[in-house]
Chains A and B, each alone.
Chain A
Amino acid sequence: MRDLAKEPDVARHALETMWTARRFEEAVDQLFARGLMHGTMHLSIGQEASATGTCMALEPDDLITSTHRGHSHCVAKGADLTRMMAELLAKDTGYCRGRGGSMHIADVATGNLGANGIVGGGIPIAVGAALAQKLTGSGKVVVSFFGDGAANEGAFHEAANLAAVWQLPVVFVCENNHYGMSMAADEAFAIENISTRAAAYGFPGVTVDGNDVQEVYEMVSTAVERARAGRGPTLVENVTYRWKGHSKSDKNLYRTREEIAAWQDRDPIVRFEEAVRAAGSLSDEEIQAARKAATDALRDAIRTANAAPPAPADRDLLLDAVYAAENRTARDRMEVYA
């Protein structure tokens, strides 16, 4: 298995991806705090290794479904930062033209079939996308991201079973960040590891240190290979932690500062920087440059996004947008949004 820390270009890509996700969400956090952003959002700061290691195990045209906590998935799958930021800033130039916001960003051109505001809602959709790949013989694999909370939704169980009996090319990536809003995983599950649920459906499940981008990459790669070979689904549980609250209104009443601090000491990005340093593939300057590249990219994205006009408050346009007016193939849509 490839060692992400050892190859300079790969290490740089992993670092830049994780830093970009981090900087994006830090910027969003600040824009909300300053009252410059509207609505709500859910931050995945602290979970960047899960999104990055997973997407690095995919081919560019493989597909993902994402969650309400999906910014890092978008970034890792290659979404355009300006269009992401524009969406959160309620601009017409945003991914959803101001109709979706943070919870509904999709980028069909990069294989991201969409974030989802319903816990577990994307899992059956991922299974359907995998069915389409099987029926068309495309050879593509679908990753379904979801959280620990979603593993207690019926949608997970029905979708996992269907994927198993039909041996579909899907990888279930459960990001166990320890809390479903305020509900601790310890209280929501009577099992030690969510990955053991895979056994109930007849496919492999594995629990991974989700703050170790290398380990995530290796386990998901194995699962993707298995899926692509027609051997069906795998459940990969990335154990991680969200540093920020569930959403902007969270006062963190259900956990301690000490607990948060302990997980911040296991920062997935700092850990990978140490691994890169130890491997000697990038110099300290190059590691700093990766951080700076992310910071600069964010600054540009915010500036460009902010300069765009707001989504027009035109009722006829809204009504016209409800129904698709013409048949277009997925390929046409990808070209339109490429």
Chain B
Amino acid sequence: MTTIETSENPTDGPGPAGSAVAAPISGGEAGEARELTYAESVRETLADLLETDERVFIMGEDIGVYGGAFGVTTGLLERFGRERVRDTPISEIAIVGAGVGAAICGLRPVVELQFSDFVTCAMDQIVNQAAKIHFMLGGAAQVPMVIRAPAGSGTGAAGQHSQSPEAWFAHVPGLKVVMPATPADAAGLLRAAVADPNPVIVFEHKLLYKQKGEVPRNHFVPLGKADVRRRGQALTIVATSVMVGKSLAAADELAAEGIEVTVVDPRTITPLDDATILAEVAATGRALLVQEAPRTAGFVAEIAARITESDTFHALKAPIVRLCGLDAPMAYAPELEKASVPQVPDIVAAARQLAKGA
């Protein structure tokens, strides 16, 4: 298991595109940072939003007394009551659809899907309704809804509770897709998602919920700004979600061998900060793309395509390398599950190989 390190001062923009700004939304001193877990960071942000914006309400399965399957919403029912913290029946179509309807009417629903896998049950409401309403209706309506969905493997929950389905939604114009990799980003991107007038899906990786990191108060991270987490000359790793931390851990090992790498976290895959990714890949001429989701038609394939169809192609010194989950359903047994997705040694080995490749 690796730990996620956060930048010393996350409000400074480490990358060319800048990183984070504090938004003057709610109480507390903007920018003042505390150490929180990723789950606490999401919870605090939800509480701030419920406190400061009467349009915001949250709903989902077991988010009340139970506190959500991963404890993220613990205590919010007691604080904000049953009207604004709504436990729902097990009805994903109705939960998401009710979010769409409430959003059209001007509210700001934040809907929790208990596991990202259950999104399949609500696909029509997300893909045919939420994503398209603004466009199809000629701009007459907006759907400012946020869907939070715990994603990813590592919990021994097997094939129907462990997927990373982000690429399905990146393929749907009208949706925004967010993948926070740190406690600070979990807060900052969620605040930006709720402020956005479009439907936004936030994939929170389950293995990150207990990770700790500095979280500035009232943190706000604009959608569409990648974060350059580390810079080196040997090669550029572009990694999403839990793979950001694994890539940073790999980067430490590689540095010990004298291989300095850049690590870029797109943070949001729609909108995608191409400019930062392409500039960082061009700077080293070598790209290692890392995701937990299966390889075929995964999101990093899109990043590879954007590299090869841009001028950055001419800067490449070696073929692009993808490191992805297996093209297989997630297995149950711990060793099988571990073998199904890239691990730190895999990233180290792939980077080592790429660094010396012609």
Contacts and interface: CB of A to CB of B under 8 A. Distances in A.
Interface of A: 63, 65, 94-100, 104, 106-108, 113-114, 116-118, 121, 123-133, 135-136, 142, 154-155, 158-159, 161-162, 165-166, 321-331, 333, 337
B198 to A, nearest CB: 5
A240 to B, nearest CB: 26
A113 B101 contact: yes
A135 B125 contact: no
Nearest to B88: A162
Given A113-B104, A161-B89, A325-B197, A100 B98 contact: no
B170 interface: no
A95 B173 CA distance: 21
The 4 A-B pairs of least Cβ separation, nearest first, read A124-B97, A128-B101, A128-B98, A330-B106
User: Could you say which of A63, A106, A142, A323 has the most chain B C-beta atoms within 10 Å of its C-beta?
Assistant: A323
A106 B100 contact: no
Contact of B141 (A98, A108, A118, A128): A108
A323 B198 contact: yes
Interface string B46-66: 000000000001000000000
B130 to A, nearest CB: 9
Contacts of A135: 57, 83-84, 102, 107
A95 B89 CA distance: 36
A132 B106 contact: yes
Contacts, number: 162
B104 A324 contact: no
A126 B83 CA distance: 18
A203 to B, nearest CB: 15
Nearest to B92: A158
B116 interface: no
B94 A106 contact: no
Contact of A127 (B86, B101, B139, B140): B101
15 contacts: A99-B135, A99-B137, A106-B140, A117-B128, A121-B124, A125-B97, A125-B101, A126-B101, A127-B101, A128-B101, A155-B93, A162-B98, A322-B174, A324-B144, A324-B197
B197 A128 contact: no
Contacts of B1: none
B195 interface: yes
Interface in B127-158: 128-129, 133-142, 144
Contact of A94 (B106, B134, B138, B141): B138
Contact of B125 (A63, A121, A328): A121
Contact of B197 (A114, A126, A328): A328
Interface in B178-225: 195, 197-198
A258 B93 CA distance: 40
A159 B96 CA distance: 10
A95 B174 contact: no
B80 to A, nearest CB: 12
Contact of B102 (A98, A128, A158, A161): A128
B124 A136 contact: no
A104 B136 contact: yes
A172 to B, nearest CB: 13
B94 A161 contact: yes
User: Could you say which of B97, B124, B198 has the most chain A C-beta atoms within 10 Å of its C-beta?
Assistant: B97
A273 B98 CA distance: 40
Nearest to B127: A118
Contacts of A114: 133, 137, 141
Contacts of A127: 94, 97-98, 101
Contact of B93 (A94, A96, A124, A330): A124
A129 B137 contact: no
User: Could you say which of A65, A118, A123, A324 has the most chain B C-beta atoms within 10 Å of its C-beta?
Assistant: A324
B107 A327 contact: no
A321 to B, nearest CB: 5
B277 interface: no
B318 interface: no
A118 B137 contact: no
B105 A124 contact: no
User: Could you say which of B84, B91, B103, B105 has the most chain A C-beta atoms within 10 Å of its C-beta?
Assistant: B105
Contact of B128 (A108, A121, A133): A121
A136 B107 contact: yes
B99 interface: yes
B141 to A, nearest CB: 6
B124 A118 contact: yes
A128 B97 contact: yes
Nearest to B133: A114
Contacts of B97: 121, 123-125, 127-128, 155, 158-159
Contacts of B140: 95-96, 106-108, 333, 337
Nearest to B107: A132
A326 B197 CA distance: 6
Contacts of B124: 118, 121, 155
A329 B91 contact: no
A132 B102 contact: yes
B138 A96 contact: yes
Given A104-B136, A121-B125, A327 B105 contact: no
User: Could you say which of A142, A161, A322, A329 has the most chain B C-beta atoms within 10 Å of its C-beta?
Assistant: A322
Interface in B62-96: 83-84, 86, 88-89, 91-96
B53 to A, nearest CB: 11
A107 B137 CA distance: 9
A176 B137 CA distance: 26
Contacts of A108: 140-141
Contact of A118 (B129, B138, B195): B129
Contacts of B92: 158
B137 to A, nearest CB: 5
Given A100-B138, A323-B198, A330 B104 contact: yes
B174 A323 contact: yes
B142 A328 contact: yes
Given A97-B139, A121-B97, 20 more contacts: A106-B141, A108-B141, A114-B133, A114-B141, A117-B128, A124-B100, A124-B125, A125-B101, A128-B105, A129-B102, A130-B101, A159-B93, A159-B97, A162-B88, A162-B94, A324-B134, A324-B198, A327-B195, A327-B197, A333-B140
